[in-house]
C-alpha cells in the first residue's frame, strides 16, 4: 500500500522536489491542451520534457507560445517530433483519444522497455451527456498494453481538466489515480504526479482498474455540463 507506507510527506509534494530523479519525459501530442499543460507543469517542477507533435514546426510554435507566457518556468521543454519524443525514459500519450492506440502501435519498437502513460478517455457526447466507448479489451489502457507488450503501460490524469494544468499560477486541485501492472512503473508515475504541487497520487492497482478512470470521465463531464461547474476528483477522508 504505497499511500499508507509513505507517511505525511506524501501530502506535501513540494517538499519532495529536491528528490526529483533525472527522468526525461516525452509527451506525444504535446500541442493539444492536455499535453502542453502537462509539459509546462512538468518543466516547472524540474523535469526535462520532450514536447512531441507529428510536425516538429507545430511543436516549436507551441513551445515558443509557452515560453512567451511562462519564461524560464518552461525552459526545460524541448520541441520534438513524436518519434524523437519517444527517446524519453517515460512517454505520455497525450494525443487525441481516437489516435492513442494507432500512435502506440506506430511507435511500438521505440517504446519497448519504457514506461508509457495513457491518459486517453474514449468518450462520445450525446446532448448534455457523455458516454464512454470501451474497446474490445475493456479499456484503452488494456488495449494499449496488448499492443505495447514490451512496454510498461500505466495510466493517470484521466480526470484532470486540461484547463487546470495550463495556468501555472493556478493551484491544482485534483487527485490522480495511477493504474498499471508493473509495480515499479506505477510507483515511478506516482513520483512524477506528486512532484506537481497540490496534485496527490493514489495507487489504483493493476491495469484492470484503468477502465474505472476512463469511464468515470464520462460521468464527470456529464456532471460538469449539467451542473455548469468544473469539478474534478478529490478523495475525502485522507
Ligand atoms: N482535454 C482534457 O481536458 C483532458 C483531460 C483528461 C484527459 N485527456 C486525454 O488526454 C489526451 C489529449 O487530450 P487533448 O484534449 O489535449 O487532445 P486533442 O487536443 O484532441 O489532441 C492532442 C494532439 O493529438 C494530436 N493528434 C490529433 N489527431 C491525431 C492523429 N490522428 N494521430 C496522431 N496524433 C493526433 C495533435 O497533435 P499534432 O497535430 O501536433 O500531432 C493534437 O494536438 C486525450 O487522450 C484525452 O482523452 C484530456
Domain coordinates in residue numbering, the chain: 2-227
Q: Which residues pair with 80 in a beta bridge?
A: 52
pLDDT tens digits for the chain (238 residues)?
Answer: 344 344 434 443 434 444 555 899 999 999 999 999 999 999 999 999 999 999 999 999 999 999 999 999 999 999 999 999 999 999 999 999 999 999 999 999 999 999 999 999 999 999 999 999 989 989 999 999 999 999 999 999 999 999 899 899 999 989 999 999 999 999 999 999 999 999 999 999 999 999 999 999 999 999 999 999 989 999 999 9
Give the pLDDT score at 134: 87
Q: Residues, the chain, total?
A: 238
CA–CA separation, 82 vs 74, rounded Å? 19
Q: How far is the CA of 96 from the centre of ligand 1 (A)?
A: 3
Give the pLDDT score at 70: 98
Atom of ligand 1 nearest to the CA of 35: 16
Residue 231, classified by CB atoms within 10 Å of its CB into exposed (0-12), middle (13-18) or buried (19+), is middle
Going by their DSSP bridges, the two strands 48-53 and 24-28 should be labelled as: parallel
Q: How far is the CA of 81 from the centre of ligand 1 (A)?
A: 15
Give the pLDDT score at 173: 86
Task: Domain 2-227: give its CATH superfamily.
Answer: NAD(P)-binding Rossmann-like Domain (3.40.50.720)
Q: Which three cell numbers stand for residue 231?
A: 469539478
Mutate-to-test residue for ligand 1 from 96, 176, 224, highest number of ligand atoms within 8 A of CB: 96
Give the pLDDT score at 20: 59
Give the pLDDT score at 19: 52
Write out residues with Cβ below 6 Å of ligand 1.
29, 31-35, 53-55, 58, 94-97, 99-100, 103, 119-121, 157-158, 160-162
Q: How far is the CA of 212 from the centre of ligand 1 (A)?
A: 20
Residue 228 DSSP label: T
Give the pLDDT score at 137: 87
Amino acid at each position: 500500500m504505497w499511500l499508507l507506507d509513505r507517511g505525511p510527506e506524501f501530502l506535501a509534494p513540494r517538499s519532495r522536489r529536491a528528490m526529483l530523479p533525472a527522468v526525461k519525459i516525452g509527451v506525444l501530442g504535446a500541442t493539444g491542451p492536455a499535453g502542453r499543460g502537462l509539459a509546462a507543469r512538468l518543466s516547472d517542477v524540474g523535469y526535462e520534457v520532450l514536447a512531441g507533435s507529428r510536425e516538429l514546426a507545430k511543436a516549436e510554435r507551441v513551445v515558443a507560445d509557452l515560453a512567451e507566457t511562462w519564461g524560464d518556468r518552461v525552459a526545460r521543454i524541448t520541441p520534438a517530433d513524436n518519434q524523437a519524443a519517444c527517446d524519453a525514459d517515460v512517454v505520455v500519450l497525450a494525443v487525441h483519444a481516437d489516435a492513442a492506440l494507432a500512435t502506440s502501435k506506430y511507435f511500438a519498437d521505440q517504446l519497448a522497455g519504457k514506461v508509457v502513460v495513457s491518459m486517453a478517455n474514449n468518450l462520445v457526447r450525446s446532448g448534455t451527456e457523455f458516454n464512454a466507448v470501451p474497446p474490445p479489451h475493456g479499456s484503452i489502457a488494456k488495449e494499449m498494453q496488448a499492443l505495447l507488450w514490451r512496454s510498461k503501460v500505466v495510466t493517470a490524469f484521466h480526470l484532470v481538466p486540461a484547463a487546470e494544468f495550463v495556468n501555472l499560477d493556478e493551484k491544482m486541485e485534483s487527485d490522480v489515480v495511477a493504474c498499471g501492472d508493473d509495480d515499479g512503473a506505477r510507483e515511478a508515475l506516482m513520483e512524477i504526479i506528486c512532484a506537481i504541487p497540490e496534485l496527490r497520487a493514489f495507487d489504483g492497482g493493476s491495469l484492470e482498474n484503468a477502465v474505472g478512470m476512463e469511464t468515470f470521465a464520462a460521468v464527470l463531464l456529464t456532471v460538469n455540463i449539467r451542473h455548469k461547474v468544473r469539478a474534478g476528483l478529490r478523495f475525502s477522508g485522507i
